[in-house]
Structure 1
Amino acid sequence: MTTQYPQIRQYIGGQWQDGSGTGRTSVLNPATGQPLTELRHVSPGQLDQALDALSESAPPWRRTAPAERSRILRRAADLLRDRAERVARTLVLEQGKPLAEARAEILVSADILDWYAEEGRRAYGRVVPGEYGTRLSVIPEPIGPVAAFTPWNFPATSSVRKLGGALAAGCPIVLKASEETPGTAVGLFAALEDAGLPGGVANLVLGDPAEISAHVLGSPVIRKVSLTGSIAVGRHLARLAADHDQITTMELGGNAPVLVFPDVDVVAVAEALARAKFRNAGQVCNVPSRFFVHESIAEEFSSQLVRFADSLKVGDGLAEGTEMGPLANVRRRDAVAALVDDAVKGGAEVLAGGRPLDGPGFFHAPTVLAGVRDDQDVFRDEVFGPVVPLTTFRDLDEAVDRANDSPYGLGSFVFTASLDAATRASDALQAGMVGVNTTVLSRAETPFGGVKASGHGQESGTEGLDAYLVRKVVLQHPPITWDSTKGTA
């Protein structure tokens, strides 16, 4: 099957249009470093069009029956499944991950839309008992127009979490997708359009992140801001949002610890963790990243990690048999290489990989480092690359204390056969999500989000819908009359 990269355009007010801004960005294939297309940025005038579209579409979309909103989202999910192969190949071309991973991401995105389609029909309020003749009601209502910002590492799932939650709740949305992976976003919006979403309810803008965020968040039209991105960008958007009292949801990355206890099946757990860590070339915020392995099994465990890392087939994501693709851009490849070099200078030992790979594209070898200290950058920072930094521990309390010694708090993991160890560790770990004997933290049915510097608010699950709702309290009493107030009116 040949793969043709799609035409990249803005989607504003229900119309596809070329960007009319002055800036341009080359969209690159990370497997070759060659350009796929040139993206012309959105202009300030087009951003105003998007804001006007939000204002105009907010009242009718708010009044649209939840069952009708559900029907549209379900149809979009079905269309995504029908087009999964085509959109997945676009994703590989612009982001680099293997085709099987890209295909899975598109199918999961369809499942997320289905989840929100049904959850939007269950945005229940409540009636509170009060005095006879009164009605005390709590009524959920859409928060209003939303501005959303998504990254390049999971351009489909990170977008549909925001699109699905906002649209199911009755909120129109403008989504600024990554300028490095615009083709996937175009595929998502085409599915929404073809599913019958009214024009102006969802808008796609592409261009310079700083210019778009300043313009859009500078408008009082926006009532809610949702970001998946870095800590620095999150703090910047939070400051912009504060000027207009815009409510924020921020998923700002992670550096998840994994605690591996001595009672595990070493071979099975090492392979499961390696598969998770090297998925998407390590460019995942919610996978095991800091490896704390009990000292009694550390040698066997590390040898199994090395065996797996050395066996991985690295190459173009569209090539047959590829198990790990390139880093998404040259910035990531160079940053990962610098962190590895710094760790080695500080005394860490390279057990596997440890270097960028020769040839075109932005490839780095799957890497395993032993003897890493907790204070080294490769351990403290979010590496966002195919690097396993490994250290050892003696007992549970020590492992938890060291795991919690981090500004991040998105995910964490525990692998053990002991119910006591699993319970104690999962209770004590400071994170928004804990995986016990699993590497999967993201499901449509459960909330996704972190604590500390990893952000605030949650997506997916009931909480993901709730993020786009406000509660109105209505306290209704009988009409006031002279008799009812006994002359005190």
Structure 2
Amino acid sequence: MTQYPALHMIIDGQKISGGGRRSFDVVNPATGEVIGALPLADPADLDRALEVAAKGFRIWRKSTPQERANVLQGAARLMLERADDLARIATQEQGKPFAEAKIELMMNVGLFNFYAGECFRIYGRELVRPDGQRSTVRHEPVGPVAAFAPWNFPLGNPGRKLGAPIAAGCSVILKSAEETPASALGVLQCLLDAGLPKEVAQAVFGVPDEVSTHLLGSPIIRKLSFTGSTVVGKHLARLATENMQRTTMELGGHGPVLVFGDADVDQVLDTAVGGKYRNCGQVCVSPTRFIVQEDVFERFRDGFIERAKAVKVGDGLEQGTQMGPMANPRRPEAIDRLIGNARDKGAKLGTGGERIGNRGFFYQPSVLSEIPLDADIMNEEPFGPIALINPFRDEESMIAEANRLPYGLAAYAWTADAKRQRRLATEIEAGMIGINTHMIGGADAPFGGVKWSGHGSEDGPEGVLACMVTKAVHEA
């Protein structure tokens, strides 16, 4: 088994630890045991990271597309070589099954290779002007980026936060989640080992509000990229206004899934149950609110419950595990509260609703049905292994329920009616929609939401352009 590594920060290529700094205990969620001590940045560390990032931007903005592509492709190759070790580390500190961590790592490989190609596709344009005049539009790197990544995808989120700025010619200070630091450090180390100048990317950890206030309070930072909750995202957006920093915000969701009477119910269940309990439901685009047409509701609900009971829960490093523990002790407590509130209001618990054992943070795959819309769980993102299934009469009421909440990250719909598919694509308010599929991501596709789920995109050409500014140059 891969040994959990010693933890540190990376500033100017140096591994920083000790020195009387505060520390954070990293816990294996499958056992509840402490597996590492993470040093936390003090103000001097953050000032040094900012100084180095400013220097790194001056260096990297002058790099050629080939130099940037070489680093990204080299890092992708190193991630492939180190895939098993990185995936095991991710499972140790986050809990997800090893197979899921490996898939997450492979998504990073694909994204880095795609971004390597994007280095050559950052096109401007020349405008039509009279003879003797020339006007061009060009895209230039925005500047040093402060990037904050959460714990639910400990490899994939840092990959997104690092890959786009590096492809665009920016420097970046990454603050990944303190619960899952070694995964983020492993991704950054692949970039450094592939030849990224040490000044271009830094990794710091610390008390979140201290770090965000310090970094965003500096005029050196020209862009904020954040993935996390809507509450924290709104707070960071307010901080970013002081220095007019650009923002990309990938925030919370409450994924509606519309299941119409003409859908193949068994096909939907075979897909949706795995999607719901992936990463123990700790996924921003997780299918959560199942909005089911009345004539197939009972069949769908009963089939979902049956399949949920069959999900194998266990340590993510054990063979055959389909769902690991929740990532930290806060999550089971939150799910307990939400399920209790829903049942008090009359919701029916079909299965689950309890923790598993007294070691680690395991929770049963759970299903609630016939839930009143005023229950907390119908309005707050549950971020856990709980499916919510309610009956609805017709298309109009189903779309209204899908759009009822202020969130708009991912939505899903299952129907055989081609005209309805086109209507849903237009009328559902979400940044990403899967119709007859739950596969809504790809290295070449933009990833982001609307309304309270944020703004801007990661991945795809849009992810690189989000790290650039547009300049018009007029010559006479």
Matches within 5 A, 1:23-62: 23-62=22-61
**TM-score, structure 1 as length reference:** 0.96
* Corresponding position of 1:368: 367
CA contact (8 A) 1:409 1:454 kept: yes
Q: Secondary structure at the match of 2:291?
A: strand
CA contact (8 A) 1:414 1:426 kept: no
Q: Secondary structure at the match of 1:121?
A: coil
Matches within 5 A, 1:76-91: 76-91=75-90
The alignment status of 1:171 with 2:166, answered yes or no, reads no
The alignment status of 1:203 with 2:202, answered yes or no, reads yes
Cα displacement string for residues 255-292 of structure 1 (whole angstroms, at most 9, x for unaligned residues): 01010001111112112101000000000011211110
Task: Evaluate the alpha carbon distance shift between residue 53 and residue 19 of structure 1 in structure 2; reply closer, same or farther with a 3 A threshold.
Answer: farther
CA distance in structure 2 between the aligned counterparts of 1:111 and 1:235, rounded to whole angstroms: 31
Letter in 1 for 2:363: H
* Corresponding position of 1:388: 387
Cα displacement string for residues 47-74 of structure 1 (whole angstroms, at most 9, x for unaligned residues): 1111111111212210110111001100
* Corresponding position of 1:262: 261
Count of paired positions: 476
CA distance in structure 1 between the aligned counterparts of 2:57 and 2:19, rounded to whole angstroms: 25
Q: Secondary structure at the match of 1:471?
A: strand
CA distance in structure 2 between the aligned counterparts of 1:375 and 1:403, rounded to whole angstroms: 15
1:208 CA drift (Å): 1.0
Letter in 2 for 1:56: K
Q: Secondary structure at the match of 2:27?
A: strand
CA distance in structure 2 between the aligned counterparts of 1:102 and 1:197, rounded to whole angstroms: 25
CA distance in structure 1 between the aligned counterparts of 2:452 and 2:59, rounded to whole angstroms: 37
The alignment status of 1:353 with 2:338, answered yes or no, reads no
1:333 CA drift (Å): 0.8
CA distance in structure 2 between the aligned counterparts of 1:419 and 1:21, rounded to whole angstroms: 63
* Corresponding position of 1:431: 430
* Corresponding position of 1:344: 343
CA distance in structure 2 between the aligned counterparts of 1:417 and 1:141, rounded to whole angstroms: 45
Matches within 5 A, 1:5-404: 5-18=4-17, 20=19, 22-404=21-403
Letter in 1 for 2:222: R
* Corresponding position of 2:408: 409
Q: Secondary structure at the match of 2:150?
A: coil
* Corresponding position of 1:485: none
1:23 CA drift (Å): 2.4
CA distance in structure 2 between the aligned counterparts of 1:364 and 1:379, rounded to whole angstroms: 20
Deviates more, 1:445-454 or 1:21-30: 21-30
CA contact (8 A) 2:13 2:199 kept: yes
Letter in 2 for 1:372: I
Letter in 2 for 1:171: C
CA contact (8 A) 2:9 2:39 kept: no
CA contact (8 A) 1:21 1:44 kept: no
Q: Secondary structure at the match of 2:100?
A: helix
1:39 CA drift (Å): 1.1
1:423 CA drift (Å): 1.1
RMSD of aligned Cα (Å): 1.0
CA contact (8 A) 1:153 1:328 kept: yes
The alignment status of 1:473 with 2:475, answered yes or no, reads no
Unpaired segments ≥5 residues, structure 2 = none
CA distance in structure 2 between the aligned counterparts of 1:23 and 1:263, rounded to whole angstroms: 58
1:20 CA drift (Å): 4.4
CA contact (8 A) 2:22 2:40 kept: yes
CA distance in structure 1 between the aligned counterparts of 2:240 and 2:396, rounded to whole angstroms: 40
1:374 CA drift (Å): 2.0
CA distance in structure 1 between the aligned counterparts of 2:18 and 2:267, rounded to whole angstroms: 50
Matches within 5 A, 1:449-488: 449-477=448-476
Unpaired segments ≥5 residues, structure 1 = 478-489
Cα displacement string for residues 10-68 of structure 1 (whole angstroms, at most 9, x for unaligned residues): 01111112154642211000001000011121121111111111111212210110111
CA distance in structure 2 between the aligned counterparts of 1:19 and 1:245, rounded to whole angstroms: 35
Letter in 2 for 1:226: S
CA distance in structure 2 between the aligned counterparts of 1:437 and 1:20, rounded to whole angstroms: 54
1:375 CA drift (Å): 2.1
Query: Over alpha carbons, which structure has the higher Rg?
Result: 1
CA distance in structure 1 between the aligned counterparts of 2:355 and 2:167, rounded to whole angstroms: 44
1:175 CA drift (Å): 0.4
CA contact (8 A) 1:21 1:40 kept: no
Deviates more, 1:314-323 or 1:265-274: 265-274
CA distance in structure 2 between the aligned counterparts of 1:163 and 1:78, rounded to whole angstroms: 16
- Taking every aligned residue pair, what percent have the same amino acid on both sides? 46
Letter in 1 for 2:430: A
Q: Secondary structure at the match of 1:297?
A: helix
1:440 CA drift (Å): 1.6
CA distance in structure 2 between the aligned counterparts of 1:253 and 1:159, rounded to whole angstroms: 18
CA distance in structure 2 between the aligned counterparts of 1:380 and 1:415, rounded to whole angstroms: 23
Cα displacement string for residues 145-182 of structure 1 (whole angstroms, at most 9, x for unaligned residues): 00000000012111111211100000000000000000
CA distance in structure 2 between the aligned counterparts of 1:3 and 1:165, rounded to whole angstroms: 29
Q: Secondary structure at the match of 1:63?
A: coil
CA contact (8 A) 1:147 1:226 kept: yes
CA contact (8 A) 2:30 2:315 kept: yes
Q: Secondary structure at the match of 2:407?
A: coil
CA contact (8 A) 1:74 1:117 kept: yes
Q: Secondary structure at the match of 1:296?
A: helix
**TM-score, structure 2 as length reference:** 0.99
CA contact (8 A) 1:447 1:463 kept: yes
CA distance in structure 1 between the aligned counterparts of 2:170 and 2:66, rounded to whole angstroms: 15
Q: Secondary structure at the match of 1:475?
A: strand
Letter in 2 for 1:78: R
Letter in 1 for 2:217: G
1:106 CA drift (Å): 0.6
